[in-house]
Amino acid sequence: MPAESLRRLTRDVARAGGAVVLHGLKNRSLKATASAIQALGVDASAVQINPNAFKQYRINTVPAIVLVKADHALKLDTERCALPANFVGVSGDVTVPYALREISQRAPDHRTLAERMLASLGEH
């Protein structure tokens, strides 16, 4: 993923109240990962490492922007995946506002959350 895209994504996700989730460590090193995040000049507190999230939300292509119904986040199926009605995602190197608009249009159950996040970004 291009560095500028990752900077923009991390900044906007943090402003919207979310977190960027990494699948694992860069070169299997926490120090290398922290250095790479620091080199981007982004708020490291907006970045998490959680390989389980990729399975849980069926993420096969990155980057992906996923919205989860908070009150249903731990409702999982027998394979430890989130129930499809409880999350929605958009994959591709797109802006956060674009992804949120797309989610708002195609997933009515997530529209309120998507629109609230758009408002926190100063988008309408």
The span from the CA of 9 to the CA of 17, in Å, is 12
CA-wise closest residue to 42 among 15, 61, 64: 15
pLDDT tens digits for range 81-112:
888 888 999 999 899 999 999 999 999 999 99
Amino acid, single-letter form, for residue 64:
A
CA-wise closest residue to 18 among 64, 62, 58, 59: 64
**Residue 1, CB half-sphere, CA atoms under 13 Å: how many?**
19
Which burial class, exposed, middle or buried, applies to 112 when counting CB atoms under 10 A from its CB (0-12, 13-18, 19+)? exposed
Is 39 in contact with 31 (CB distance < 8 Å)? no
pLDDT tens digits for range 4-32:
888 999 999 988 989 999 999 999 999 99
pTM of the model: 0.86
